[in-house]
Amino acid sequence: MPACEGSSGKLFRKRHGQWPPGVDVVLVVRQSAKEASFSDLSRAFDGVTRKLQRLFPSGPRESTR
């Protein structure tokens, strides 16, 4: 699992199971993301998830937790 901090790490750990199986993603964010609210980060994460689901429509993988 990648190194994660704070809210962005929480989002990744709880929601990455919604991403299509077999997809590795690297997110590069601006320095200002560190100051973003949880709701802003959540909206951005959901946007990435929707785009991945459209590109790879095989369905979500099951969470291992």
Q: Is the pLDDT of residue 1 over 70?
A: no
Give the separation between CA 42 and CA 47, rounded to whole angstroms: 9
Kindly tell me the sign of the dihedral angle through the C-alpha atoms of 10, 11, 17, 19.
negative
How does pLDDT run across 3-55, given as a tens digit for each residue? Answer: 445 677 787 788 888 888 888 888 777 888 778 888 888 898 899 889 988 99
Q: Is the pLDDT of residue 60 over 70?
A: no
Residue 59: predicted pLDDT: 53
Q: Is the pTM of this model over 0.75?
A: no
Q: How many CB atoms lie within 10 A of CB 26?
A: 5
Q: Give the residue, 51 or 1, on which the prediction is more confident.
A: 51
55 contact partners, CB below 8 Å, separation of at least 6: 20
